[in-house]
Copies of this chain bind each other. A is one copy, B any other.
Amino acid sequence: MASSAQVSAEQNNHVDYVIQYSFAGTDITQATQQFETLLRSLSEVGLQSEVRQGDEESLLVFVRAAKKHRLKRAIYQSRIRDWLHGVRNSEPEPEESAEPQTEGERLRVIYHMITVPKDAGGAGITMKHGEWKNVTAIFPLHDQEANKQCMRAFNSKTFLSSEDIDYIRDAFGESVGFYFSFLQCYFRFLLFPAAFGFSCWLLLGSFSIIYTVVNALWCIIFIEYWKRQEEDLSCRWQTKGVSAVRERRREFKPEKEVYDQSTGETRGTFPTVKRTCRQLLQVPFAVLVTVALGLIIATCFAIEIFISEVYNGPLKTYLVIIPTILLSALIPTMSAVLMSVATRLNDYENYETQAAYDVAMTQKIFVINFITSYLPVFLTAFVYVPFASLIVPYLDVFHLTVRPFVSKEHATTARTDFSIDPDRLRKQVIYFTVTAQAINFAMETIVPILKQRLMREYKAYNRRKQAQAGAGEQSDEKRAPPVTFNDHKDETEFLKRVRNEAELEDYDVTDDLREMCIQFGYLALFSTTWPLVPVSFLVNNWIELRSDFFKICIECKRPTPQRADTIGPWLDSLGFLSWTGSITSSALVYMFHVRPNGAPTAITGWALLLTIFFSEHLYLMVRYAVSATLSKMDPPNVRQERTDCYLLRKKYLDSTIAARSSDDEEEQPTVQPDETGDGSEITRKSLEEDARRWSRHGTDSAERFWMRQRGWRESAQVGSSMIQALSLHEKKRQ
């Protein structure tokens, strides 16, 4: 890969970062001044820059770390910081030989140089924030050749090798690397439930106890295994404990400045108690989410049931689509509203670090997604199936609205006809686990490409129109250059590519992780309804991995490498879903075992609850056992790291022990004197005489205690005479 890196660097003209400077809506003088400051700041930290035209309202600043020693120093500093925070075990090599080990490290360090505040040694350029609000993007350029090679390679194999994952990590940073590694691990693990689920589907049908138990066990093992895998990766990539190195969040608003005596610094703080109080708002937020989304879902659900199963009037085939349309219109709108509420709430909680902010945000996103994704199925399984015959009569409300169009007889016949559709649950699960996944794939991969194409067409069209208009007004357009790009011919291709990349969206790994997490939820919560779920996911995830890679490479700006040692709070979400799965699965199995079509007659509350109780606690016990067992097995890289630590310690300790033994030799002469003179017979009398002599010399009583026996040989003699005497005495007594 080293040589290909060279090729790509050539292709990218050795550009490390591109900074997009947009001056739309800013006063010209101000924009010019600001732009000058930008270039000066970059130059001050040792970065070389070249300016080219961007689109109509922006410039592109190309940045590279031209001064090798400045880059080396930045890398060295970053490593020292890691070492001091315990991310690295060994002290880094000296500054002179500090070369970036990977493309990722190089880009990360340069990004750090660009963004870190001036007093910490950076250029202090903060994207879209404060004085730098004109800086709209800072991004590295894609390594197109390598990306293409990878895409081709990935498409031709089933499993990515760990080298492939390492490549992703080198190119896009550890946080993206963790996502792909997770996806790969999940895909590999899915093989078993896919095979097992398929056999269960053939032999046992839905709601099999065996499938449910195996599935729950699989969930536990998968999550615990992934935890170990995470640890392993973080050792391999040297990012263990990297969250300790994170910088302060720019948007953090300290409430008061506190002078810390011990550090001698003034530091803005925000009281934890106050933040906790603000966090309590999450409870009403969760209630709001549940009510707002729940109401929409439940209403559409009720309408759907009414139309498809009760209503018998005209236009039925068309009316059935109404709830679907309503849902697909209302849910995204409401989700967007709730997301903005969540963002504001999260801002209000005022976290000090970006990591803490992201964790809190992720939790809120999870709540929203949990409701939108699983509530429909929950309603079918735990409201419609057991209680439909009780609830359906109340759907009369809708009758009132349709009455004008329907004759009375129609409605009445409909109501008596009503019976539960036992297949509804399965159909719904199939929709969410197959159809919705496919739709999602299309929305994520194909739609953005189309959108991009259209946007470019539109821009080009605009430009052409403008050029024509410009040609019309050519008379008074002498000094102002036309807004066609007048690039140097060597650079045309390159600049066109860069301009395209600048228009791409930012890649956010959280979205992809969320998607996988929600998908896992269907498997854990409802797959007992239709054991082919893991088969569908297996197929889907093979495509997903490739399409996500395609998305990063083609549809998004190359992400700035970020380090991570975990997939973060999503891990907790997975655990939560798997736990909840132990409740829902057992409940589903019980309900549909009592009577295959799940009618409520035979379901007794206490038996259902007892099933849930046992299943949940069995789940927790097994989880504890699995986790305890796995925690004792070290993955290879963890073991390697432990060995390294051990060696380091051993070296250090050996050196002190060696020092000791050389010392001992010097010591011998001083020891000798109190070990000589042991030849003469020691009698109690002579000892007592000694003691008397010493007491006359005025030694204190404690010292006298230690002077009765001179050296260990004398002690040994005294001891052996005691042993003999006592033993003889004992013998005689017997």
Give A627 Cβ to nearest chain B Cβ, in Å: 12
In the complex, whether A719 has a CB less than 8 A from a CB of chain B is yes
Q: Is the pair B726, A490 in contact by a Cβ cutoff of 8 Å?
A: no
Contact among B10, B606, B711, B718 for A606, CB-based, below 8 A = B606
Contact among B50, B77, B483, B720 for A708, CB-based, below 8 A = B50
Residue in A77, A279, A480 with the greatest tally of chain B CB atoms within 10 Å: A480
Q: Is the pair B706, A48 in contact by a Cβ cutoff of 8 Å?
A: yes
Q: Is the pair A719, B466 in contact by a Cβ cutoff of 8 Å?
A: no
Q: What's the Cα separation between A633 and B269 when bound, in Å?
A: 13
Q: What's the Cα separation between A715 and B62 when bound, in Å?
A: 10
Which of A319-327, A414-422, A651-659 lies at the binding interface?
A651-659
Quick one: closest B residue to A711, CB to CB?
Answer: B43
Q: Is the pair A704, B85 in contact by a Cβ cutoff of 8 Å?
A: no
Give A649 Cβ to nearest chain B Cβ, in Å: 4
Contact among B13, B276, B640, B644 for A705, CB-based, below 8 A = B13
Contact among B121, B488, B728 for A660, CB-based, below 8 A = B121
Chain A, range 685-713, C-beta contacts under 8 Å to B: 688, 691, 700-706, 708-709, 711-713
Residue in A14, A490, A706, A728 with the greatest tally of chain B CB atoms within 10 Å: A706
In the complex, whether A469 has a CB less than 8 A from a CB of chain B is yes
Q: Is the pair B272, A633 in contact by a Cβ cutoff of 8 Å?
A: yes
In the complex, whether A80 has a CB less than 8 A from a CB of chain B is yes
Q: Is the pair A724, B85 in contact by a Cβ cutoff of 8 Å?
A: no
Contacts of A80 in B (CB 8 A): 652-653, 656
**Contacts A609-B606, A649-B84, A723-B32; is A728 near B688 (CB within 8 Å)?**
no
**Contacts A32-B723, A629-B276, A656-B76; is A701 near B23 (CB within 8 Å)?**
no
Q: Is the pair A51, B715 in contact by a Cβ cutoff of 8 Å?
A: yes
Q: Is the pair A483, B726 in contact by a Cβ cutoff of 8 Å?
A: yes
Q: Is the pair A263, B647 in contact by a Cβ cutoff of 8 Å?
A: yes
Give A457 Cβ to nearest chain B Cβ, in Å: 20
**Contacts A85-B649, A647-B263; is A28 near B727 (CB within 8 Å)?**
yes
In the complex, whether A601 has a CB less than 8 A from a CB of chain B is no
Q: What's the Cα separation between A716 and B36 when bound, in Å?
A: 5
Quick one: closest B residue to A245, CB to CB?
Answer: B649
Q: Is the pair A77, B653 in contact by a Cβ cutoff of 8 Å?
A: yes
Which of A53-61, A189-197, A307-315 lies at the binding interface?
A53-61
Quick one: closest B residue to A608, CB to CB?
Answer: B606
Chain A, range 60-81, C-beta contacts under 8 Å to B: 61-62, 64, 66, 69, 73, 76-77, 80-81
In the complex, whether A159 has a CB less than 8 A from a CB of chain B is no
In the complex, whether A409 has a CB less than 8 A from a CB of chain B is no
- Give the oligomeric copy count: 2
In the complex, whether A681 has a CB less than 8 A from a CB of chain B is no
Q: Is the pair A712, B43 in contact by a Cβ cutoff of 8 Å?
A: yes
In the complex, whether A204 has a CB less than 8 A from a CB of chain B is no
Contact among B632, B723, B732 for A35, CB-based, below 8 A = B723
Give A69 Cβ to nearest chain B Cβ, in Å: 8
Contacts of A76 in B (CB 8 A): 656
Give A202 Cβ to nearest chain B Cβ, in Å: 32
Residue-wise interface mask of A (1-28) relative to B, using a CB-CB cutoff of 8 A (1 in contact, 0 not): 0000000011001110000010100001
Contacts of A57 in B (CB 8 A): 726, 730
In the complex, whether A205 has a CB less than 8 A from a CB of chain B is no
Q: What's the Cα separation between A57 and B733 when bound, in Å?
A: 13
In the complex, whether A648 has a CB less than 8 A from a CB of chain B is yes
Q: Is the pair B650, A263 in contact by a Cβ cutoff of 8 Å?
A: yes
Q: Is the pair A276, B632 in contact by a Cβ cutoff of 8 Å?
A: yes
Give A719 Cβ to nearest chain B Cβ, in Å: 4
Contact among B40, B51, B86, B657 for A718, CB-based, below 8 A = B51
Give A625 Cβ to nearest chain B Cβ, in Å: 9
Contact among B15, B263, B720 for A32, CB-based, below 8 A = B720
Q: Is the pair B629, A23 in contact by a Cβ cutoff of 8 Å?
A: no
Contact among B35, B262, B723 for A647, CB-based, below 8 A = B262
Chain A, range 250-264, C-beta contacts under 8 Å to B: 260, 262-263
In the complex, whether A612 has a CB less than 8 A from a CB of chain B is yes
Give A380 Cβ to nearest chain B Cβ, in Å: 21
Give A472 Cβ to nearest chain B Cβ, in Å: 12
Contacts of A86 in B (CB 8 A): 86
Q: Is the pair A725, B480 in contact by a Cβ cutoff of 8 Å?
A: yes
Q: What's the Cα separation between A469 and B734 when bound, in Å?
A: 12
Q: Is the pair B64, A706 in contact by a Cβ cutoff of 8 Å?
A: yes
Residue-wise interface mask of A (472-510) relative to B, using a CB-CB cutoff of 8 A (1 in contact, 0 not): 010001001111001010110010000000000000000
Q: What's the Cα separation between A64 and B275 when bound, in Å?
A: 56
**Contacts A262-B643, A648-B84, A732-B480; is A632 near B272 (CB within 8 Å)?**
yes
In the complex, whether A684 has a CB less than 8 A from a CB of chain B is yes
Contact among B121, B644, B702, B729 for A14, CB-based, below 8 A = B702
Residue in A276, A691, A727, A730 with the greatest tally of chain B CB atoms within 10 Å: A727
Contacts of A646 in B (CB 8 A): 263
Q: Is the pair A719, B35 in contact by a Cβ cutoff of 8 Å?
A: yes
Contact among B39, B608, B613 for A612, CB-based, below 8 A = B613
Contact among B48, B56, B260, B466 for A643, CB-based, below 8 A = B260
Quick one: closest B residue to A76, CB to CB?
Answer: B656
**Contacts A40-B712, A53-B722; is A702 near B13 (CB within 8 Å)?**
yes
Contacts of A609 in B (CB 8 A): 605-606, 609-610, 613
Chain A, range 143-192, C-beta contacts under 8 Å to B: none
In the complex, whether A42 has a CB less than 8 A from a CB of chain B is yes
In the complex, whether A604 has a CB less than 8 A from a CB of chain B is yes
Residue-wise interface mask of A (587-621) relative to B, using a CB-CB cutoff of 8 A (1 in contact, 0 not): 00000000000000000111011101100000000
In the complex, whether A49 has a CB less than 8 A from a CB of chain B is yes
Q: Is the pair B723, A59 in contact by a Cβ cutoff of 8 Å?
A: yes
In the complex, whether A434 has a CB less than 8 A from a CB of chain B is no
In the complex, whether A31 has a CB less than 8 A from a CB of chain B is yes
Contact among B49, B59, B652 for A712, CB-based, below 8 A = B49
Q: What's the Cα separation between A488 and B690 when bound, in Å?
A: 12
Q: Is the pair B272, A81 in contact by a Cβ cutoff of 8 Å?
A: no
Q: What's the Cα separation between A647 and B494 when bound, in Å?
A: 47
Q: Is the pair B480, A729 in contact by a Cβ cutoff of 8 Å?
A: yes
9 nearest CB pairs, A to B: A605-B606, A609-B609, A43-B712, A32-B720, A606-B606, A84-B649, A39-B712, A36-B716, A13-B705
Cβ contacts A to B, 12 pairs, < 8 Å: A13-B701, A14-B702, A14-B703, A14-B706, A32-B723, A39-B719, A262-B640, A272-B632, A276-B629, A480-B725, A604-B606, A609-B609
Beyond the given A53-B722, A262-B647, A606-B606, please list 16 additional residue pairs across the A-B interface where CB-CB is below 8 A: A13-B701, A13-B702, A32-B720, A39-B716, A50-B715, A51-B715, A59-B722, A80-B656, A85-B649, A262-B644, A483-B729, A488-B688, A488-B708, A490-B691, A490-B704, A494-B705
